Amino acid sequence: MKIKDSVVLVTGANRGLGLAFTQVLLEMGAKKIYAATRKPDTITTKGVIPIELDITNKKNIENQSSLILDINMLINNAGIYRKANLLDDNTMEVVRDVFETNLFGMLSVSKSFAPTLIKNGGGVIANVLSAGCWLNGHGNLAYCMSKAAALSLTNDMRIALKHHSIQVTAIHAGFIDTNMMSNFSGIKLSPHSVAYHSLIAISQGMQEVLIDDMSKKAKMHSIDNIPYFTEH
């Protein structure tokens, strides 16, 4: 997959890692970038096309997928974090809310836009996951559950789409310097660096990207996960 001259849809593109993806795509020469968010008026990056997309709203997704017909890359970046523990009073409510975005939102967007990629001869779907796919810690029940489920979804997507010339890439990183990770201590990665290395890996045909040591060690189950993934 060549990044230069590609046509890309990025979800959650108004801040954090999603914003960084749009900026790096511009730097790498992408032909067209759809910057999707619930509030398109918050998109300030010049050279991208802001679109309104609520990944928890099926009708909104279907409407946009009927209008955006030229993409050959989808970056499922949008996600949320809400603190939850097993014995909290609102555990079920929080878990359902997080799954609605982090799992079902990713599934809905992918299902709606995959036919467009197929019609356009193939391309890439990149799912932003997390080292949290393999980690757990106090307060992270909903987030880690959703990311582990999203990893399973990604693996299934890869099987379903491999005969349609669609590369499905899972992106894993530890702490990224974004608003969502602001309450976590430890060394944090630059969103620009994560976006850059992810796109390089995508261009090289990689199906899984382990951005940092935290992700690599988490997958190997070689670290004590609680201190690495606990909100302060």
What is the extent of the structural domain holding 24?
Answer: 7-228
- What is the helix (H) or strand (E) element at residue 128, kind and residue range? strand 123-128
188 belongs to a structural domain: yes
Number of domains in the chain: 1
Q: What angle do CA 126, 62, 46 make, to 5 degrees?
A: 60
46 belongs to a structural domain: yes
> What does the block give as tokens for 217?
């060690």
pTM exceeds cut of 0.85: yes
2 belongs to a structural domain: no
199 belongs to a structural domain: yes
DSSP string over 171-192: EE-S-BSSGGGTTB-S--B-HH
- What are the tens digits of pLDDT across the range 50-106? 999 999 999 999 999 999 999 999 999 999 999 999 999 999 999 999 999 999 999
> What does the block give as tokens for 157?
């997507």
177 belongs to a structural domain: yes
176 belongs to a structural domain: yes
- What are the tens digits of pLDDT across the range 70-80? 999 999 999 99
d(CA 176, CA 132): 12
pLDDT above 90 (res 179): no
DSSP state for residue 164 in the 8-state scheme: G
Pairing mode of beta strands 32-37, 49-52: parallel
31 belongs to a structural domain: yes
Residue 70: Cβ within 10 Å count: 12
Q: What is the pLDDT of residue 98?
A: 98
CATH at 65: 3.40.50.720
pLDDT above 80 (res 172): yes
